[in-house]
Amino acid sequence: MNQPAGRPHAASQSLPEPSRTPSEGLHCSHFMYRFRRDVLAGLSARRLRDGMRQFLAAVDPAEATRPEKLQRYIISGHKADFALMMMDADPLKIDAVHQAVVSGPLGAAVEATWSFVSMSEISEYVPSVPQYREKLIREGNAPDSPELAAKVAAYERRLPMMNQQRLSPDIPDWPAACFYPMNKSRVPGANWFMESSSLRQTLMAEHAQSGMAFAGRVSQLITVGVGLDDWEWMVTLWGRNPEHLKEIVYRMRFDQASAKYGEFGPFYVGYSATGEEILDHCRINV
Amino acid sequence: MNQPAGRPHAASQSLPEPSRTPSEGLHCSHFMYRFRRDVLAGLSARRLRDGMRQFLAAVDPAEATRPEKLQRYIISGHKADFALMMMDADPLKIDAVHQAVVSGPLGAAVEATWSFVSMSEISEYVPSVPQYREKLIREGNAPDSPELAAKVAAYERRLPMMNQQRLSPDIPDWPAACFYPMNKSRVPGANWFMESSSLRQTLMAEHAQSGMAFAGRVSQLITVGVGLDDWEWMVTLWGRNPEHLKEIVYRMRFDQASAKYGEFGPFYVGYSATGEEILDHCRINV
Amino acid sequence: MNQPAGRPHAASQSLPEPSRTPSEGLHCSHFMYRFRRDVLAGLSARRLRDGMRQFLAAVDPAEATRPEKLQRYIISGHKADFALMMMDADPLKIDAVHQAVVSGPLGAAVEATWSFVSMSEISEYVPSVPQYREKLIREGNAPDSPELAAKVAAYERRLPMMNQQRLSPDIPDWPAACFYPMNKSRVPGANWFMESSSLRQTLMAEHAQSGMAFAGRVSQLITVGVGLDDWEWMVTLWGRNPEHLKEIVYRMRFDQASAKYGEFGPFYVGYSATGEEILDHCRINV
Amino acid sequence: MNQPAGRPHAASQSLPEPSRTPSEGLHCSHFMYRFRRDVLAGLSARRLRDGMRQFLAAVDPAEATRPEKLQRYIISGHKADFALMMMDADPLKIDAVHQAVVSGPLGAAVEATWSFVSMSEISEYVPSVPQYREKLIREGNAPDSPELAAKVAAYERRLPMMNQQRLSPDIPDWPAACFYPMNKSRVPGANWFMESSSLRQTLMAEHAQSGMAFAGRVSQLITVGVGLDDWEWMVTLWGRNPEHLKEIVYRMRFDQASAKYGEFGPFYVGYSATGEEILDHCRINV
Amino acid sequence: MNQPAGRPHAASQSLPEPSRTPSEGLHCSHFMYRFRRDVLAGLSARRLRDGMRQFLAAVDPAEATRPEKLQRYIISGHKADFALMMMDADPLKIDAVHQAVVSGPLGAAVEATWSFVSMSEISEYVPSVPQYREKLIREGNAPDSPELAAKVAAYERRLPMMNQQRLSPDIPDWPAACFYPMNKSRVPGANWFMESSSLRQTLMAEHAQSGMAFAGRVSQLITVGVGLDDWEWMVTLWGRNPEHLKEIVYRMRFDQASAKYGEFGPFYVGYSATGEEILDHCRINV
């Protein structure tokens, strides 16, 4: 292994100040939790009551300690009872919520069964305005036509909002969501990272097209885990109905970007809930 | 990753109301459980008696909280002591039964060792009436013959019942059942999702043919886990005799759809039981 | 997925009665167990004494509840302390012994670390009498020779005993045994289930030949896990000396049936023991 | 297996004294830890206070027992709460810190969830001065030019410092770090260890080039786990900002050395912290 | 599956008596252990003192119960705190030491985290004297030369000692050791068991050559796990210095026998220690 040892003492005139806050985008973490019923059974009524109060404060924190985004879900199946999804400029503000959930009298009965650490970013596959114009021309639009100009102008107006949605999404008020991490494969014969940039651009554009068919029924966020956690990307899908989650993932599996190159980790499906609803559903009560 | 960010604010005139209830089919969950004998050993006789009563109520719930389908099984081997298989329009009604099982005095001694979250649906591989007609013609039936017309008419009459069976099955009163999840492979050289639709149709029709040989001995349900859990499909087989479960799975393994493309998860075999029979078999008593 | 939904209501005139008892062969389960020393340390002398008595009764049950075959082994290494191997027509009779082992005062200190659920059967690769005759002719025996007739007659006499040994084996009184599950691979380039029946017959016959060299030193039983547990087959080898187990498995690994197509699960080696010897070896005493 | 049995009694005139101290480089270990909240909940205030004091002493040991390098991090996500990274000539001095962390009243509530054992070394891919000179000539520098001589002289001056950085790095005072182990693949079609030395040299030089683009933002250390732990190398990256860690790993994934041959283990991202900050963040307090 | 059912009742005139003792070689087990600090914390001073005494007796047993070889190591990293490596003609004598370690007051706080069960043997790849003579001739030695005769005679004198070292090794008095299991791969394109015997002989001879370069610095033992445990071979390397362990494994990874066909399990590195040193290092004291 002969990668550069770096130069910590290099001229730092143009270097940013050391910081945990990214220059663009937010830190993002997904946490899956299960209640340990054997530990719960040993709590006195008083400790349980205190624990429930602290739990509700932990999953719905006060302004000062509240991450920029914080979503709560009841999770189906045995892999988790509930989930938190959080985004903030400071990763430790996010992790502090996790620490609060596993602390206190109820925390001893909360087991984190899975998590994923990632960051939001604007993907390299989002076309710039000139790239978008070239794409339209390749698709048959006349270079000097007013139609082309109008489309490009519309894209230019839309792009900042779309990018903002990628960096810090507006989360729809829908009941269902699913979460899963993924890699692009690097096996001989299907190695995404050995493909040309243009092929990757084409495949990702096709993939985006598939997703557009679900506008209004599915909203999605792709965050990056490369260098931070065990998979390269984390996918969060919000669904107007859980059936749309099943449908979009099945439909996209036939896109070459997924069919040939996609490797998928664990899937979790959940339903938006308040802290009280989580406790109630899980029958945590005094 | 450049999939569309969705458009939560898109014109929603034609969009359904947000809901957890699918427009077609049911949610379906399989749960595998094991009793923790170390925890059981610490329960007082009184708590054990209370726990048994609550357990029996949990696995045989009253009308109001009872999912549309609820089956109970004793499971062979060490991976689980018992299983629940449930279907309902509301996923949280299903999960509420699970929460009831792991709650209460006995719940602390119940460990969920595996589960699978899926939904029932009508597969894309079920031929429509016109597709069925074309298939018969390809197989040599004369286009204008009364025989063809009769077969098509029969299929047309049978189809709604078959589809209903797929969405909300009548479960036979047989002693044995087995459960396993599966994927279609996407490895270079055997990538199901890169094959043409017609090849996939052909292979699935052959596969269906294999299954028909077991009519009256095996009944099956395929539910979809794509986007919801770690495998793409969940297979539930009910058997008149456990040997039929072994035979059908072995026989089908030689079908190209399985031999070349099938990837299988954990298998569980169990025997239909009441709550009392589960407790009795597992020697949970005061 | 479009496999037939079955027809639970099909004409059942020729169908057998629903049953857990196979029409041929026996259910077979292997259980691996480890004593939990932390739990043992907390047992009072009285509970330990009661637990030991119940343990001895569980692994050596009375006539009425005793499965047709029941073998006990001390297991080497840390994966298990002891094992049970059982066969019976009723799977719940087998599982009842397991439930007895993990119940009672000592049961809380017994952890089942692995198991395998299978059934005995006559393999499709056992030649019928006519197949055997044809094989001898292919090998050069003259069709009308008295030698051929004698060999065929001998096979015909031997076959029922051999098949009985496959369905319900006589277990030799030898000290050592090993246990492991296996699959036949389905990877591109080595897909057993895509090979022709005749190639599979040939490879299995060669494989059988390798095994015959160990007659008198190794006895074996192959049971089927397809549809019942996570591997397709379970192999049980009894050895006159543990070195024969190592030798036969090494020798057979070069057979094409294993070298190219075999996939192997966990291996366990053990030594025949009574319940008392298991407790004594594991230093469970008052 | 026929590897030489070694010759412990061979003439040892030229052999070094037996020792745990390498002739060059340092032992290096990474430890990931999680607090067990169920155990913590059972500690009395007094034991917790004692435990916290011992914990702080363990992660910030006195001169005599302090390894040459000792770094502490808060880890994001559920896989660990905190991490230690240590280097020393004596491996048992490193392991003694680990033993101190898991001992004492708080140690019972500390679970080591992952670790990696490695050693620092000068990679075979670091060009020697003559190799560096030849490389410059291949790149077009005139063999007798003063420019070439100057570059070679500069490299010669820089090399000892660079090597020292590889053996015993100066660790930058930056907030973020990530850790992950890796292998070079040996699958048919992408077998690093079957490639020629010159191809491997070329690919590693390209890879080094990618890393240099991050000088001042990322500093790295590659240590060797071959023969010592489950992966061949351990990568430690220190980042001025966590976004640089994500960026360098993503950027390098397209280098052939990674894209084709890299296999990656678990990733951990953390933030530099004192012992007090770790306890505070994890809400361990009386 | 159609492997022979064995013939337990075959004429046994030439068969050895049933026995656990191999006719050649020794049983060999490696055990990795970790102290459970949560259990330790609950032991009274008296039980801890008793437990320490019993632990020291268990890892340094009296003559009558002491296996022929018994080595103790402190293990680096979190996967184990200490290890035992034992060899004996009777496998239950080895397992009895393991049972003693996990029994008694301290045993409840000892968790076996890994083990490997194997047997020593003389590999099929050790050349016989005639094979060695032929090899020398192939390498250019004149068939009738006194040099050849001398080399062959030397090999003939050395061979019994070398074989004895393989069956029951003299273990060098060096500080470091590493342990790992391995398989030979059977994937399409790199299937060791499908290669010709002569290619395997050649590759193993090359591999042996690599090892000889480390004579005096590394001593090794290869034992066989085929049929006994989850990997085919177990490698034990003793090193004069831990850096030699890293170097030999790295060097050998480029041999075709490893590069193309080797599959490696978990690696453990440790340092020779007495029972007292293990307790002291792990801070087990009253």
Instruction: Report the residue of chain A nearest B1, measured CA to CA.
Output: A123
Helices (H), A181-230: 197-212
Average pLDDT of span D35-45: 95
Chain C residues closer than 8 Å to B282 by CB: 99, 103
Q: Which residues of chain A have pLDDT under 70?
A: 1-13
Complete domains list, chain B, with CATH = 27-120+272-281 (3.30.70.1030), 171-271 (3.30.70.1030)
**In a 10 Å sphere around its CB, with 0-12 CB exposed, 13-18 middle and 19+ buried, how is residue A17 labelled?**
exposed
Q: Is the pLDDT of residue D225 over 50?
A: yes
Across the interface, of C3, C31, C188, the residue whose CB is closest to B220 is: C3
C-alpha Rg value of chain D to the nearest Å = 22
Q: Across the interface, which of C190, C222, C254 has its CB nearest the CB of E1?
A: C222
What is residue C10's DSSP assignment?
A: S
How confident is the model at residue D11, as a pLDDT?
47
Name chain A contacts of B117, Cβ cutoff 8 Å.
76-77, 269
Dihedral over Cα of A265, A266, A269, A272: its sign? negative
Closest Cα in chain E, distance from residue D36 (Å): 10
Tell me which residue has tokens 């025996």: C141
Give residue B33's identity as a one-letter amino acid code.
Y
Contact residues on chain A for D205, CB-CB shorter than 8 A: 2
Contact across the interface for A254 and B36, Cβ inside 8 Å: no
The residues, ordered by sequence, that sit 6+ positions from E273 with a Cβ below 8 Å of its Cβ are E72, E73, E74, E82, E281
Interface test with C, best of E2, E21, E34, E47 (most C CBs within 10 A): E2
C261-275, D3-17, D135-149, D209-223: the lowest-pLDDT one: D3-17
Q: What is the ipTM of this complex?
A: 0.95
**Are residues A96 and D281, on separate chains, in Cβ contact within 8 Å?**
yes
Given a contact cutoff of 8 angstroms between Cβ atoms, the answer to whether D236 and D223 are in contact is yes
Q: Which two tokens stand for residue E61?
A: 């047993």
E contacts of C269 (beta carbons < 8 Å): 91, 117, 227-229
Which residue shows structure tokens 């360098």?
Answer: D248
Predicted pLDDT at E13: 59
pLDDT score recorded for residue C13: 59
**Separation in Å, CA of A52 to nearest CA in chain B:** 16
- Best mutation target among D241, D255, D256, D268 (most A Cβ atoms within 10 Å) is D241
Distance CA B254, CA A235 (A): 36
Per the CB < 8 A criterion, the answer to whether A219 and B205 are in contact is: no
Decide: E265 and E182 in contact? Cβ < 8 Å.
yes
Strand partners, E114: E32
Closest CA to D25 of D115, D99, D100, D126: D126
Length in residues, chain E? 286
Residue to test with chain E: of C37, C39, C159, C185, most E Cβ within 10 A: C37
SS (H, E, C) D236-260: EEEECCHHHHHHHHHHHHCCHHHHC
Cβ pair D18:E238 closer than 8 A: no
Nearest in space to E179 (alpha carbons), one of E101, E233, E241: E233
The active-site residue, picked from B180, B261, B268, B271, is B180
Rounded CA-CA distance D59/D55 in Å is 6
> What's the pLDDT score for residue E3?
40
CB contact under 8 A, A228 and D245: yes
What's the rounded Cα separation, in Å, for the pair B102 and A41?
A: 11
User: In a structure prediction context, what are the per-residue pLDDT tens digits for chain C, which is 286 residues long?
Assistant: 344 444 444 444 589 999 999 999 999 999 999 999 999 999 999 999 999 999 999 999 998 999 999 999 999 999 999 999 999 999 999 999 999 999 989 999 999 999 999 999 999 999 899 999 998 998 899 999 999 999 999 999 999 999 999 999 999 999 999 999 999 999 999 999 999 999 999 999 999 989 999 999 999 999 999 999 999 999 999 999 999 999 999 999 999 999 999 999 999 999 999 999 999 999 999 8
Q: Which residues of C touch E189 (CB under 8 A)?
A: 189
| Residue E207 CB partners (closer than 8 Å, separation 6+) | D2, D3, E252, E255, E257, E258
Instruction: Show pLDDT as tens, one digit a residue, over chain B (286 residues).
Output: 344 444 444 444 589 999 999 999 999 999 999 999 999 999 999 999 999 999 999 999 998 999 999 999 999 999 999 999 999 999 999 999 999 999 989 999 999 999 999 999 999 899 899 999 998 998 899 999 999 999 999 999 999 999 999 999 999 999 999 999 999 999 999 999 999 999 999 999 999 989 999 999 999 999 999 999 999 999 999 999 999 999 999 999 999 999 999 999 999 999 999 999 999 999 999 8
Question: Interface partners of D (3+ CB pairs, < 8 Å)?
Answer: A, E
DSSP code of residue D22: -
CB contact under 8 A, E243 and D119: yes
Please name the amino acid found at residue E73. Answer: Y
Per the listing, tokens 């030695």 go with E141
- Containing E179, the helix (H) or strand (E) segment is strand E176-184
Using an 8 Å Cβ cutoff, are E252 and E211 in contact?
yes
CA B109 to chain centre: 26
| D12 pLDDT more than 90 | no
d(CA B255, CA B210): 8
pLDDT at D13: 59
Q: Quick one: which H or E segment has residue C69?
A: strand C69-75
Cβ contact E17:C244 at 8 Å: no
Chain D residues with beta carbon closer than 8 angstroms to that of A92: 74, 271, 281
CA distance D66 to chain E (A): 15
| End-to-end Cα spacing for chain A | 58
Q: How far is C12 from chain E (nearest CA, A)?
A: 32
- What distance in Å separates the CA atoms of residue A86 and residue E274, rounded to the nearest whole number? 50
pLDDT tier for residue D286 given thresholds of 50, 70 and 90 = confident
**Tens digit of each residue's pLDDT (9 = 90 or more) over A25-40:** 999 999 999 999 999 9
How far apart, in whole angstroms, are the C-alpha atoms of residue A237 and residue A180?
9
Beta-carbon separation of E92 and C74 below 8 A: yes
pLDDT for residue C181: 98
Name the token pair of E240: 């004069």
Minimal-distance CA residue of chain B relative to A38? B108
What are the residue ranges in chain E where pLDDT is below 70?
Answer: 1-13
In sequence order, the 6+-apart residues with CB closer than 8 A to the CB of A131 are none
Which structure tokens are listed for D78? 């559920």
